[in-house]
Structure formats: structure tokens, C-alpha cells
Amino acid sequence: MQIKPIIISSSDDMLDDIEHHFKVVAGPGAGKTRWLSNHIRNVLSNSARLNKCRNIACITYTNVGVETIISRQGDSIDNVEVSTIHSFLYKHVVKPYIFLIKDEFGLDPGKIDGHDELVPSGGFVYQWKKKTNQTKTLTDDTEVIKALCALCWQFNGNEELELKLRDVWRGKAGKYNIKKNSYMTYKEMWWEKSRLHHDDVLFFSHTLLKRYPDVLRVLRGKFPYFYVDEFQDTNPIQTKIIEMLSEKETIVGVIGDKAQSIYGFQGAEVRQFEEFDLPGMKNYQIKNNHRSTEEILTVLNNIRVDITQKSPDGKRGEQPLILICPPLTAYKKVREIACNDNVCTLSYANITSNEMKSEYAGIGKDDLFIKLIIADSTDRGKIISATIKGIEYARQNKFKDAIKEVKKICKFKDEFEKQKTAIKIIHVMLNKYKSYMNGNLYDFYDVLKETGLITMTRINTSRASKVKSFYDDTAYKEIALWVRYNDDDSLHRTVHKSKGDEFESVLLIVKGNRKLSFKEESALSFLLNPDLNNEDHRVYYVALSRAKKNLFINVPELSAQGIEKVESIGFDVLDLREES
């Protein structure tokens, strides 16, 4: 029999008993992060189990969430460690204890420095295919790289971790099967270079905690309280680690909402939150929505059937508006309507959010950085790729990410020299931005080479050169659209990068698949035929729920019947196709 949750009426309601496991369910705008911040202060004030060496761990899944919780703690942050799950596990498990398993996995602990997204170069892929006897069968390197980037650790039927490709790949690269026994070879090649993927942090953490009880005991001793915000984004490995912590001494609290689970591509499963249960755990629910107007809540409640949210303050606003036109036209119009009031654009695809940042509509359908490292598999290709990413990070004020990226191509052994050179390359190339921003990749290569800051081999300029053809045919603006930002606090983001945030006005851009034309029945099914078992629908639900005052949706086209349908569920419609 399912036990009804205890209702928490506001974010100021505190738990009388802080020494029990708990799960809090709360919809968007309910104030769950504020409640968690208040609960942490309550524990800091009343717990007898905290001291200089024993702290509260607070885990969230975006750096926006980390910053939000830290900002709300104020002066009481000393005994609280707030971080993402990967950063926490790397700092407290992998980095200090990886030496225990270094020989088994061919690791050099002294050379391991953090974790990253790892994209193999063309040369790396060739060496892997050669080692695993797949050079004749795996001929499409673009598909091979995409598949290898989807490789992840998952539990098998025996509760052991093994490498698998995400379900969408079905073990294939294009039309051809990838040998399962070659997955580990791919990992080992990265580990030989002392490079860890984010997913490897989970694998090594689970391995260490399972094999070495003393490591688990130390972790429990350091963190008698372990709280997880946005728990619906947890994958099975993370859940297992949290369960291991909860078995003794550590009190675990999780907060989340199944309708906001949108990280399936990273292994998150809705059932992980729904089924999560610990001995003695109490269940709570926070109702209402303090963020959005009643007009926006009407839309959200139409999509969702398990809860009905209301604004306790009775906030009122304008009817949500659908604009039929290109995205840049829509953005210009909604800024007029909202009086330039902090309008945030949210997109499903990374490239769409980058198009909005640059106000340049791309035409490519494939990741041009993958195309680059295949077309030019030399060190020159790596240099061009890293420098472009570094420049674009810096243009978005992501200077730490920019320096980290460009440092990869600096050959100095001394860390200070690497950093100094990386900063100089970024500074010089930013100053020269206008000289290549409207040109092709060869123009960029030419400008970078002329700086003399980094050594590159010359490109063969003969007509038969495939490398030269790629550099000539690829616009700088086009490849820049494929840069991926680890953290994005701009006003033009993907929906996934908006989690934990809110905005006065939101413009959701709904486009068709880049390889298919826009089909309103499927593209707008999250409004017209909502099903929150569908992750795409949950993604759009999250996007809509970020809006506080004004909600806009942009579509490229809409039939008369489609207009009638969306008007019947609470939308106004503005057709700007003739003005575009």
C-alpha cells in the first residue's frame, strides 16, 4: 500500500526530526531548492554530528543549481559542500584512492587531472580500429565517433558494471556492428593517456566503494548528511552509491520531480526516483507554484495530470503566445512585447541555442568538429578545433573553460607556461576576431598561423588536397555553432542547461528534426497530446515551467487547424510569416 506523503505547505516549514532519510516530491516553481537551503540551515543549527571534519554534502546536477544553493546559504556555507555528483566523487573517492586499483586498469594516478567529455580524433579512432581488427568493417568514422561518444557504464543482470552503447545505437556505428570486446580497449587507450570521461568517475567510484569498505567508512564519517537536489536526474550507478552511503551513519535526503527527468541520454531513469526507498524513509510533498502566473499554470496543468498546481499569490499575466515565423524574428518581436525584459530563449538542440547567440542560422546537419578531426587527423586539426572552442568559450565569458581547452595544445611541460601561452593565444585571436569571423576555416588557420604563437604544419594547397577543400568549404561561423558549453548562463540556452533556473520571459523554440521538415502534429504533440512518459515531452514541460511572467513559443509554421487547437488550450497566436 502506497503511503500518502506528508504535505509541506511552504519552503519555511522545517522537519522536526533531522535524523531520518527523506524524499521530497515537488513540481516546478514549488520552492524545493529554497526548502532544501532552509533545511540545511536547520541541520547546521540543530545537529550535534557536525564539526570541522564532518560536513553536509549537497549534490545537484547543474552548476546553476550549485551556485543557487551556495548563494542562499550566506555565511553558513562553512560546513556545507555543494557540488555536482561527478565533482564530489572525483574529489572524495577517485582522486585520493584511485591508486588502489591503478595496476588493474593501467592508470597513473599522478598524471590524472580531472574528468572531461572525451571525443576521439581520427587518428585515435584509426589506432583503436587497428588494435581491434575493425578497420575493414567500420568505414564511416563520423558514425564511429558518434557511437563511441555514447559508450557508458551500465549494470548487467548480475549487478556488475559493464560497457554498453546507449540503446539508440543498438551496438552499431551506422550499419555495422561494433565488437563488444573492443569497448574496453577504447577505454584503456584513454586511460593510458591519463584521461577520464565523466562516466569513468562513476565507474571507478562504485568500484572503490564496493571493494574497499574503509573508503566507504571514511566517506560516511566525513558526511553524516547527504542531500541530493534534482534526484530525478540520477542514473542507476549514482543511486547505488547513495544507497551504499545510507546503510550506516549517513542520513540521505532526496528532492525531485519525475516530470522533470530529462537526462535519459546520460542514463537517468524516471523509476530511479519513483522507486527510491530507504529503511525508515519519510515521504513529503510541496504543493503549489510560486514562480508562474495562472495563465502559464493553465498550460502546465494541461500537460500534466498527476498534480495540479496553483499560484498561492494568485499571480496573473498575459496569455501565452505562439509566434509563427523564423526564430530570430520571433526573438525580436517578443523583446518588444516584453519591453526587453530578460527574455530567455530555450531550445532542444545545442546548435539552435548557438544560432540564437550568434544571430546566425546554420545550414549543416552534422557536427563539424567531428568532420574536422576526420578530414584533418593531424595535430593541426586538434589545434584548430581546440582554439575555436577556446575562443567561443571566451566570447561567452567562460574563461576557465577557454584556458583549459587551449592548454591541451600547448606543448610546454611547465604548467605555468602552458597557461600563459593559452591566455595569450585567446587574447590575440579575440582581438583579431573580425578578420576571420566571416571567412572560412582556412582564413582562421591563416590568421592563427601568422600569430606565431603555436606551431602547425602547413596545409597542402594543391587542388587535390581533401584537407584544403574542407577548410575552404567550411565557414567559421558554421563550425562555431557546434561548440558545446559545459555550463551556460547566457540568455540563449538548451532546455537541459536551464534546469534550476527561472526567467521573467521565456521563448521556447520548437523546430523539426534538422534532417526532417517540421511536422506540427509531432512537434507540438507535447501540447496537443501530452504524455509525460515521453522524455521529449518532459523536456518541453521543463522549458515552459521556467517562465515567471511571459511565455512564448516559436514554430516555423502552423495550419489553420493547428491554430484552432492551440487557441483552445489557452494560447494566443501571432502569424509573422509575411514580415519575415
Q: Give me the pLDDT at residue 170, please.
A: 63
> Each residue of 527-561: pLDDT tens digit?
999 999 999 999 999 999 999 999 999 999 999 99
**For cell 577517485, what's the residue?**
94
> Each residue of 16-32: pLDDT tens digit?
899 999 999 999 999 88
Q: Give me the pLDDT at residue 167, please.
A: 64
- DSSP, collapsed to helix, strand or coil, labels residue 511 as coil
Cell numbers given for 52: 570541522
Q: Give me the pLDDT at residue 272, please.
A: 85
> Each residue of 124-137: pLDDT tens digit?
999 999 999 999 99
Q: Give me the pLDDT at residue 398, please.
A: 94
Q: Mean pLDDT in the chain?
A: 92
Q: Is the pLDDT of residue 201 over 70?
A: yes
Cell numbers given for 353: 541555442
Which has the minimum average pLDDT: 47-56, 223-232, 237-246, 507-516?
507-516
Distance CA 298, CA 302 (A): 6
> Each residue of 135-152: pLDDT tens digit?
999 999 989 998 999 899
Q: What is the pTM (predicted TM-score) of this model?
A: 0.90
What integer is the mean pLDDT of 507-514? Answer: 82
What integer is the mean pLDDT of 230-250? Answer: 95
- H-only helix segments in 152-257: 183-192, 198-211, 213-222, 236-246
Residue at 356: amino acid letter? M
Distance CA 323, CA 572 (A): 9
Q: Is the pLDDT of residue 294 over 90?
A: yes
Q: What are the φ and ψ backbone dihedral angles of 277, each rounded to 5 degrees?
A: -150, 140
Distance CA 302, CA 250 (A): 40
Q: Give me the pLDDT at residue 475, please.
A: 96
Which has the minimum average pLDDT: 405-414, 452-461, 508-517?
508-517
Q: What percent of the chain has pLDDT over 90?
A: 76
Q: What percent of the chain has pLDDT over 70?
A: 97
Measure Cα distances from 563 to 199, 324, 530 in Å.
44, 10, 17
Cell numbers given for 271: 523509476
The secondary structure of residue 17, as a DSSP letter, is: -
Q: Give me the pLDDT at residue 487, please.
A: 82
Q: Give me the pLDDT at residue 2, please.
A: 55
What integer is the mean pLDDT of 279-292? Answer: 93
Q: What are the φ and ψ backbone dihedral angles of 241, each rounded to 5 degrees?
A: -65, -40
What integer is the mean pLDDT of 177-200? Answer: 95
Q: Give me the pLDDT at residue 172, please.
A: 75
Q: How confident is the model at residue 514 (pLDDT cuts 50, 70, 90)?
A: low
Q: Is the pLDDT of residue 515 over 60?
A: no
